[in-house]
Amino acid sequence: MVYSSVSHSPITQTDRSNRSFPNSSPSHHHSPNPPMADLPALALGDSTVPNLNAAYSAGAELRYSTVLTRRANPEMQWPPLPPELLLIFQNIIDGQTRLQTQLQNLPIQLHTQLQEPMTQLQERITQLQTQLQEGITQLREGITQIQEGNQLHTQFQEGVTPLHGSLNQLDMKVDTFIQMGSSQEVGSSSISRKRSKRK
């Protein structure tokens, strides 16, 4: 392994200028120096690069050269991640998956939770509509009964009117009869008086 061959002494500007990296010439990569944004950033505290914090703050030349060296030498590839870190990443991914699933199911859950109150509200509205319809029907029946009562009153009035006429005629006949009876009594009295005078 090459990790033990790396010195742990601080890196200076002279070290950067004098140190040569194997297979780091431009002929070993297919494109000119790419922009630094396209290069993977080295994690702080990497044990394979001593004093990485100082190198990171001093500039990007060492980072770029190190990346080229790692690409050219398979034995200097990044070491595997510790199981603890892999577990953390896996938990993060699982959490994101669960969160995404919950977000996707949230509209369905809200719809399910709101469905019962909406159903109860619809049932209550239906009951109120039924009660209102029954009240309107009863009101119409009452109006019909009143109209029928008015018709009966009219019929009664129409039936009473001829009766009143008949009673009036009867009264007139009675008056005529009484008058005729009175006239006969007066006539009889006068005849009796005449007869008594003759005697």
DSSP string, 6-42: S--SPP-HHHHHH---TT-SGGGSSSSPPPGGGSPPP
SS3 148: helix
Residues with pLDDT less than 70, the chain? 1-79, 181-199
The span from the CA of 102 to the CA of 109, in Å, is 9
Q: What is the pLDDT of residue 184?
A: 64
Q: What is the pLDDT of residue 71?
A: 65
Of 31, 41, 45, which Cα lies nearest the Cα of 64? Answer: 41
Query: Does the pTM of the predicted model rise above 0.75?
Result: no
SS3 139: helix
Cβ atoms < 10 Å from Cβ of 176: 10
Q: What is the pLDDT of residue 116?
A: 85
Q: What is the pLDDT of residue 131?
A: 92
